[in-house]
């Protein structure tokens, strides 16, 4: 039984209305519990961010995980949990259902900088090259290096 699951989401990538969402699940010791990448139709990047949260919490509900800590690199998504009226109207019903679920479990949401999100970012690069939906029960080889760095608490730097 998993007593707690961390969920790491990153910003959506794509063009026009075709965007990719992804997330990675870890237990409280940081061990890999699963990951997903999915192609969605979204009018904007923030719509895709909201859809990523909805999909991730749907997975948590199906797997009956009752302790979730969501980390996202979107400050706006964090604000949506505090003030659901800010969510784009076209997604409010799905968001409300998502919020209902979060009230039935032990739930926490926090912001992480993009540099602290390299594993989810690697999933993004993979998702951008693939269509449809993908779930991994085992750590995919293309994120193993990032995952190992993250587990060892090594720093990531981004230079503009």
- State residue 2's pLDDT score: 39
Write down the pTM of the prediction: 0.80
Mean pLDDT of all residues in 135-152: 77
> What is the spatial distance between Cα 94 and Cα 125, in angstroms, rounded to a whole number?
26
Q: What b/e string do you get for 60-91 counting C-beta neighbours within 10 Å, with b at 16 or more? A: bbeeebbbbbbbbbbeebbebbeeeeebeeeb
Q: What is the mean pLDDT of residues 18-45?
A: 84
pLDDT over 60 at 57, yes or no = yes
**What proportion of the chain, given as a percentage, has pLDDT over 70?**
68
Segment 58-62 shows an average pLDDT of 94
Q: Per CATH, is 5-151 categorized as 3.30.420.10?
A: yes
**Cα Rg for the chain, rounded, in angstroms?**
15
pLDDT score recorded for residue 1? 34
Arithmetic mean of pLDDT, 138-157: 68
Confidence class for position 48, pLDDT limits 50, 70, 90:
confident
Model confidence over 71-80: pLDDT tens digits? 888 899 999 9
**pLDDT at site 3:** 42
Residue 137 is predicted with a pLDDT of 94
């Amino acid at each position: 039984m998993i007593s707690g699951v961390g969920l790491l989401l990153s910003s959506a990538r794509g063009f026009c209305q075709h965007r990719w969402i992804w997330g990675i699940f870890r237990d409280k010791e940081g061990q890999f519990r699963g990951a997903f990448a999915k192609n969605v139709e979204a009018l904007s990047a923030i719509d895709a961010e909201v859809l990523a949260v909805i999909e991730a919490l749907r997975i948590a509900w199906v797997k009956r995980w009752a302790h979730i800590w969501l980390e996202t690199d979107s400050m706006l998504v964090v604000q949506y949990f505090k003030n659901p009226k800010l969510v784009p109207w076209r997604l409010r019903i799905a968001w409300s259902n998502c919020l209902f679920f979060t009230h039935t479990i032990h739930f926490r949401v926090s912001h992480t900088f993009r540099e602290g999100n390299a594993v989810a970012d690697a999933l993004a690069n993979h998702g951008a090259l693939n269509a449809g939906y993908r779930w991994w029960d085992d750590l995919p080889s293309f994120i193993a290096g990032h995952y190992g760095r993250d587990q060892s608490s090594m720093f990531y730097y981004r230079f503009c």
